[in-house]
Structure 1
Amino acid sequence: MRLGLAANRLHHARPDAALFRWLRASGAGIRALDIGLHAVGRTFDAIVERDALAGHTGLQRYPYGREGGLMTLVAEIVGLGPARTLDGVVYLIDPVDPSSIFPEAVALKRQCVIQGKPFLSTVASARDFIESERLHAGLPADPGADDLHAFEQQTLALIAHDAMKPKMLEFVERHFDLLSRFHARVATGTTGQLLNDLAWQRGWPLDQSWTQRFKSGPLGGDAQIADLVLSGRCQRAVFFEDPHVARQHEADIQLLERAVTTVTDTVACLTSPAVADRWAQAAARRAAMP
Structure 2
Amino acid sequence: MRLGLAANQLHHGHGDAALFRWLRACEPGIRELGIGFGAVGRTYDAIVRAGWLADYPALQRFPNGREGGLMKLVAEVVGLDDGARVLDGAIYLIDPVDPSSVFPEAAALKRQCVIHGKPFISTVASARDWIEMERIHAGLAPDPGADVFHRLESRTLALIAHDAMKPQMLAFAAEHFDLLSRYAHRVATGTTGQRLNELAWSRGWPADRAWVQRYQSGPMGGDAQIADLVLERRCHRAIFFEDPHVARQHEADIQLLERAVTTRTDEAVCITSPRVAARWVEAARLRCRNE
Aligned length: 290
Equivalent residue, structure 2, for 1:104: 105
**Shift of residue 197 of structure 1?**
0.4
For residues 130-179 of structure 1, what are the alpha-carbon distances to aligned partners after superposition, in whole Å with 9 as ceiling and x for unaligned?
Answer: 00000111111111100011111110000000000000001111111111
Equivalent residue, structure 2, for 1:151: 152
Partner of 1:37: helix, strand, or coil? strand
- Cα distance in 1 between the residues matched to 2:217 and 2:68: 38
Matched to 1:107, the amino acid is A
Establish whether residue 51 from structure 1 lines up as the match of residue 51 from structure 2. yes
- Cα distance in 2 between the residues matched to 1:57 and 1:85: 17
For residues 11-44 of structure 1, what are the alpha-carbon distances to aligned partners after superposition, in whole Å with 9 as ceiling and x for unaligned?
Answer: 0001100000000111111000000011000000
Answer with 225-234 or 47-56: which moved more.
Answer: 47-56
- Cα distance in 2 between the residues matched to 1:153 and 1:28: 27
For residues 77-103 of structure 1, what are the alpha-carbon distances to aligned partners after superposition, in whole Å with 9 as ceiling and x for unaligned?
Answer: 001132200001000000000000000
- Cα distance in 1 between the residues matched to 2:90 and 2:270: 13
Partner of 1:84: helix, strand, or coil? coil
Alignment of 1:8-87 (within 5 A): 8-80=8-80, 81-87=82-88
Establish whether residue 193 from structure 1 lines up as the match of residue 194 from structure 2. yes
Partner of 2:84: helix, strand, or coil? helix
TM-score (norm 1): 0.99
- Cα distance in 1 between the residues matched to 2:7 and 2:290: 34
- Cα distance in 2 between the residues matched to 1:18 and 1:30: 16
**Shift of residue 56 of structure 1?**
2.1
Matched to 1:76, the amino acid is E
TM-score (norm 2): 0.99
- Cα distance in 1 between the residues matched to 2:74 and 2:54: 27
- Cα distance in 1 between the residues matched to 2:237 and 2:286: 19
Unaligned runs of 5+ in 1: none
CA RMSD after TM alignment: 0.6
Structure 1 segments (4+ residues) deviating >6 Å: none
Alignment of 1:200-239 (within 5 A): 200-239=201-240
Matched to 1:20, the amino acid is F
Alignment of 1:120-135 (within 5 A): 120-135=121-136
